[in-house]
Chains A and B, each alone.
Chain A
Amino acid sequence: QLQLQESGPGLVKPSETLSLTCSVSGDSISTDIYYWGWVRQPPGKGLEWIASILYTGRTYYSPSLRSRVTISVDTSENQFSLKLSSVTAADTAVYYCARRRGGRNYFDYWGQGTLVTVSS
């Protein structure tokens, strides 16, 4: 059974960089069929896609966050990561990592999510 687990600081100061890692277990991240992505949800609001990556390093970014986001993959550790720079209070959200079926537009496995609060 595939499992995804987010990890990283729960509190980040304004203007600093948010860094999260998603550890994948139960299957290899090195597959041509699936992308690996990040989706966030501000408190009381809806889902917002951030970025997705294929194990080869091919990436897709949200147009609204592109200038501040980097997604990367580490196939040796079977994990992928997110960096979001210059954070503000508006970046406070639950961050989910998820597996996305390539070419089919759906996320079939999700991590439990991790709350990241931006505050001094």
Chain B
Amino acid sequence: QSVLTQPPSVSAAPGQKVTISCSGSSSNVGINFVSWYQQLPGAAPKLLIYENNVRPSGIPDRLSGSKSGTSATLGITGLQTGDEADYYCGTWDSSLDAEVFGGGTKLTVL
């Protein structure tokens, strides 16, 4: 059971938009920065979004992040087949004094 809750899977057609939610609590998402990672099959996680909504260099603006209260959201527009991957949210939990991740969401581009 992960501290952060993500939907197990989402899907959409190429060119469409998808959002992935990350639900936490007042001790983690509610008060700390959220980051998002993409994990392609057989590869290490890759940072997509940090500090809730900042894209690292090289990450296209098709990807966006937002946070409201104890929930965060990753948005991907103009879906491509290459976006098929597992996506994870992460943050610090100030009560646990620990890094926490969501359980991951598998994105399928139909």
1/0 contact string of A35-79 vs chain B (CB within 8 Å): 001010000001111001000000011110000000000000000
Which of the four size classes fits the interface of chain B? 20 to 34
Contact B34 A60 (CB under 8 A): no
Q: What count of chain A residues pass the 8 Å CB interface test?
A: 23
Contact B33 A106 (CB under 8 A): yes
Is A108 among interface residues, defined by CB-CB distance under 8 A? Answer: yes
1/0 contact string of A78-115 vs chain B (CB within 8 Å): 00000000000000000010001100111110111100
Contact A52 B44 (CB under 8 A): no
Contact B34 A105 (CB under 8 A): yes
CB-CB under 8 A from B2, the residues of chain A are 46
Complexed CA–CA distance, A52 and B102 (Å): 18
Contact B47 A46 (CB under 8 A): no
For A112, the closest partner residue in chain B by CB is B44
CB-CB under 8 A from B35, the residues of chain A are 105-107
Contact A48 B46 (CB under 8 A): no
Contact B100 A46 (CB under 8 A): no
Contact B50 A47 (CB under 8 A): no
Instruction: List 10 additional A-B contacts (Cβ < 8 Å) besides A37-B99, A112-B44.
Output: A46-B88, A47-B37, A47-B45, A60-B97, A104-B33, A105-B35, A105-B51, A107-B37, A108-B47, A110-B45
CB-CB under 8 A from A104, the residues of chain B are 33, 50-51
Question: With A46-B101, A47-B101, A105-B35 as given contacts, are A110 and B46 in contact (CB-CB < 8 Å)?
Answer: yes
| In-complex Cβ contact of A106 among B47, B98, B100, B102 (8 A) | B47
Contact A105 B92 (CB under 8 A): yes
Contact B51 A49 (CB under 8 A): no
Complexed CA–CA distance, A104 and B99 (Å): 11
Complexed CA–CA distance, A85 and B97 (Å): 22
For A35, the closest partner residue in chain B by CB is B99
Q: How far is the CB of A115 from chain B (nearest CB, A)?
A: 11
Q: How far is the CB of B23 from chain A (nearest CB, A)?
A: 15
Q: How far is the CB of A44 from chain B (nearest CB, A)?
A: 10
Contact A60 B98 (CB under 8 A): yes
